[in-house]
Structures are given as structure tokens and as C-alpha cells.
Structure 1
Amino acid sequence: MAYETIELSRNDRLAVLTLKRPQAMNAMNEVMLKELADCFEQLQGEKDIQILVIKGEGRAFSAGGDIKMMLQSEQLQEFHDIMDSISRMMLAFYQLPMITIAQVHGAAAGLGFSLAIASDYVIAEENSKLAMNFIGIGLIPDGGGHFFMKERVGVAKAKQIIWEGKVMNGEEALNLGLVDAVVKDGEAQKYVQQYTEKILSSPILAMLETKQIYHTERLSELNKVLAKELEAQIKMRNTKDHLEGIKAFVEKRSPQFIGQ
């Protein structure tokens, strides 16, 4: 299938999915969200591909959700449609019958960071800019961000990271357990190539069975988290703090939040 904002290439048992909106730092608009959801749902039926690598074209992995999309989705139904695509995308990704690897360089923020840490293995370059930074515009993580943060660092640390919204480099994220390996800038692709070769020469069917056991067990929780994120995000979008956060972002200034 031909896509507008992503590209899927295959080489025997390995597939590489590239996010292709480099002019927007691969920010996810409505088209990309739907294409990712469609692609992951189709890949669920793949029997030959055993590893999927996700990377971004240009200067970044993904800057997250497209701010222009947020500004334009003023109608509740439009917002529901966007969140539905996000839920479809993450549920399908979580159930993929293959090892998933995020190859991160540049920014991986917001929804882009949720997708990265949902992967089985996250490789980040040392000067990557990693952030669960929804708090900066008065929102909560979506795309299962709460679920995947808890999976990686536990509830107490996840709350602190989400509330702070700090931009981390590769080493900082590694020390927290949010990524699994850090490499020098420009070397992520080389590392991923070596790592995929190692996995493909391993008893990968046994690895995939382990993944299925864990993910099948936790799927109902992910579903519940996605539903709660939708409900909470609707509430947050109606707050004065969110409107101030968006306005400050567009005007490139520090927001003045008032707790309302």
C-alpha cells in the first residue's frame, strides 16, 4: 500500500517504517495517525516479518502531535476522531507479532515519545531530545503514555517525569530506564543494524512467544488507559491552562498557568 506520510520497506524478515514529514519534524497530523494505524493493523497479520524498526526522516524521530491539528480540531467529533486514530495506532502496535525497535535521533516528544517507549527496544542518540511534555500545554500524555511510562519506570517515577515535562538527552533517559541503549550522534542506524542482525540470529520465535504472553496479559489495561486518557484529555482541552499553553507555544513565550 502507498502512503503519504510514512514509508514501509521490507528486507526478508526485517521491515523498516519511516515517518516522513521531515518539514514538520515528523509531527503526527491526522493523515499520519490514520496511516500508522492502518499500517500496524495490516502488519498484525504478517507471518514473515519478525522485526520492525521505526525511525524518522530528517532531523527528528517525531516532535509529537501536530500543534496545527490541535488548533484546528475545535469540534468534539473531530477531536474524538483524532483520539480514535491514536488508540487504533497504539493498540495495533502493542499487539504486533514482531520485535519492535525505535531508532531515535533528534526530538522524540509527546505522542512521538509515547510511540518510541511503546517499542520493545529503544535506541537513542546521546543528544536526542526526549520528553513527555504534554504538561507544557496543559494536557496529559495520550497514546497510552501513562501505560508505557509505568511499564518502564513504575508509577511513582512516571508521575514525576510526566509532571515535570523535562526535555532529556539520551543518557538522562537511559539512567531513568526510558531507553535501552544510547549511542553517539549519527550512529543509531549502525547500532540498529548490528542489533537486528543479532536478534535475527537468535531463537526469535521463543522471544516472540514471551512478548505475546506479556502483552496479551496487559492488553486490557492498555485499553482502559486509552479510554481514560480520552476522557481526561477532553476535560483538559476545556481548561484555561490549556488555552494559555497553546497560545504561549504559538507566541513562543513562557505560559502563565493559573490552575484552572
Structure 2
Amino acid sequence: MKWETVKLDVRETGVAVLTFNRPETMNAVNDQFCRDVQAACREVSENEAVRVLVVTGAGNGWSSGGDISTLAVIKDPISAKETYDSSGDLVTTIYELKKPVIAAVNGVVAGASLAACLACDLIIASEKARFGFTFMQLAFCPDSGASYFLNQKVGYHKALELLWFGKIIDAAEADKLGFLNKIVSPEECLPEAIAWAERLARQPMLTVGLDKKLMREACRNDYYQQTELEAMYQVLTWASADFQEGCRAFAEKRKPVFQNK
């Protein structure tokens, strides 16, 4: 399918690449963009051939956040709420995907789009990537889940420093703060993310999905709740055909060939 503001490339390797495609605005978020991203994510969710999603941006930016031309003409609280709900729904759609999502951050990411980026499971960034906590410049609070993800990543004190002073940080500082999985050269950003995605797509996807659930729940469970959940999920994987294949491959000293069963 084709959309106005995004492109979706589904590959035979089980990887889909979602490209934000408003390069003239640094892939800024507007209503159409929100609808298109959600529609593309629904297609990824429903397509059994897709195992991993990579998200990147066209041009020099991943996404610069809310489109100021849209924000500036909002005239009443009801319209404002609808606009921010739309942005929040975009982030929620990415966050709730059961399949792994890898962000290939090729350039600037700022504002509400930081939430979309941090909602991804893995983040690979170009050396030219910049992360802008620029809400304060517009007298805005963070939205679309940005405060949640930011606090999870860096903690209360550092999160407020980034927000209150509207900091723009480079890839190296973002990596020190724990945002990133890997920094690469600009030309390697998308290929490296795709390589990670293809490697992940060869793993037993039942286990991959349960790992994602476990790590999400670990953010709020205590030790006893989490170990109980681990035991339940371990029984599910034990009953899978892929577990049997993994055992056979180990005994036969070969690489396992998983069938996602």
C-alpha cells in the first residue's frame, strides 16, 4: 500500500522498513503522518511474513516532532486535545507492536518524536544523530509518553535537566545516558539496523516476543511477580517445537533452524 507521508518496504527476509517520508519538514508530525504511521504499523502487525520492523526517516532527520504549522493554528482546548491524542496514538501503536521494532536514527529527532523513538525496542544511531528535548522552547510540557520513556531511561533528576534546559544532545552523549544500542557512521545506519533485524528475524519469534513482554513487565513488577512470570513463559517456550529443535541442534553441534512453532 501507499501512503502520503510514509513508505513501507516489506522484504523477503522477514524485515519491513518503515520510512517517515516528509523530508521537506524533517519528517515533522501532522495528522496525516499520524494516520499513515498507524496504518503502516497495522499492516506490519497483520502480516505474518514480517517478523521485525525497522523505522527510519527520509532525508536528514528521523523526525523533528510536531509540525509547527499545525500547532500554531490550534484555536481551542478541544482541538489541542485531539491533536495531542493523535500524536499519542502514533506512539502507542509503535509501543504496542508485538514484533520487535528497531529505530535507525539517521539524523535529528526532537519533541514528541522522541517518544516514538524511545518506544522502539532497539536504537541504532548515526554519528550525526541529534536528540532535541525542545519542548520548553515552545513553553510545552512533554507529550505522547516522552516523560514516561525519559524517566525510565535516565531517571528523575537527569530527565528534568534535559527538559527544563531544552537540551539538544549528540549521539555520543545519548549513548552515555543509555539511550542507544550502537553508534555507526551515517552511511551505515540503516544497513546496520537492517542487519540486526535480519539476525533477529532468524531467532525463535515466540521467545523473542515473550522476552519483549518480560522486559516491559520488569519495569513495574517486584522480584516475586517477575520470577512467577518468567516461570510461566518458560513453560510456554518449553512446549514449543523450536525448543525441541534448539535441543537437537545443541546435541548435534549445529545451528538451529527455527520454524516459529
- TM-score scaled by length of structure 1: 0.78
Tell me the secondary structure at the aligned position of residue 61 of structure 1.
strand
Q: C-alpha distance in 1, partners of 2:128/2:218? A: 35
Q: How much does 1:50 deviate?
A: 1.5
Instruction: Report % sequence identity.
Output: 27
Tell me the secondary structure at the aligned position of residue 83 of structure 1.
helix
Q: 1:39 to 1:109 in 2, by over 3 A?
A: same
Provide the residue aligned with 2:210 in structure 1: 209
Q: How much does 1:81 deviate?
A: 1.7
Q: C-alpha distance in 1, partners of 2:122/2:180? A: 7
Q: Which runs of 5+ in 1 are unaligned?
A: 220-260
Q: C-alpha distance in 1, partners of 2:215/2:190? A: 28
Q: C-alpha distance in 2, partners of 1:34/1:218? A: 29
Q: C-alpha distance in 2, partners of 1:87/1:169? A: 25
Q: C-alpha distance in 1, partners of 2:144/2:169? A: 20
Q: How much does 1:110 deviate?
A: 0.8
Provide the residue aligned with 1:108 in structure 2: 109
Q: C-alpha distance in 2, partners of 1:195/1:127? A: 20
| 2:125/2:189 contact within 8 Å kept | yes
**Regions of 4+ moved over 6 Å:** 216-219
Q: How much does 1:7 deviate?
A: 1.1
Q: How much does 1:216 deviate?
A: 6.2
| Number of residue-to-residue matches in the alignment | 219
Structure possessing the higher radius of gyration over alpha carbons:
2
Q: How much does 1:129 deviate?
A: 1.4
Q: C-alpha distance in 2, partners of 1:157/1:176? A: 9
Provide the residue aligned with 2:41 in structure 1: 40
Q: Does 1:69 align with 2:58?
A: no
Q: How much does 1:2 deviate?
A: 2.6
Provide the residue aligned with 1:170 in structure 2: 171
| 1:94/1:215 contact within 8 Å kept | no
- TM-score scaled by length of structure 2: 0.78
Q: Which runs of 5+ in 2 are unaligned?
A: 221-261
AA in 1 matched with 2:81: H
Q: C-alpha distance in 2, partners of 1:138/1:103? A: 29
Q: C-alpha distance in 2, partners of 1:136/1:35? A: 28
Structure 1 stretch displaced more, 199-208 or 60-69: 199-208
Q: How much does 1:218 deviate?
A: 6.7
Q: C-alpha distance in 2, partners of 1:79/1:218? A: 31
Provide the residue aligned with 1:154 in structure 2: 155
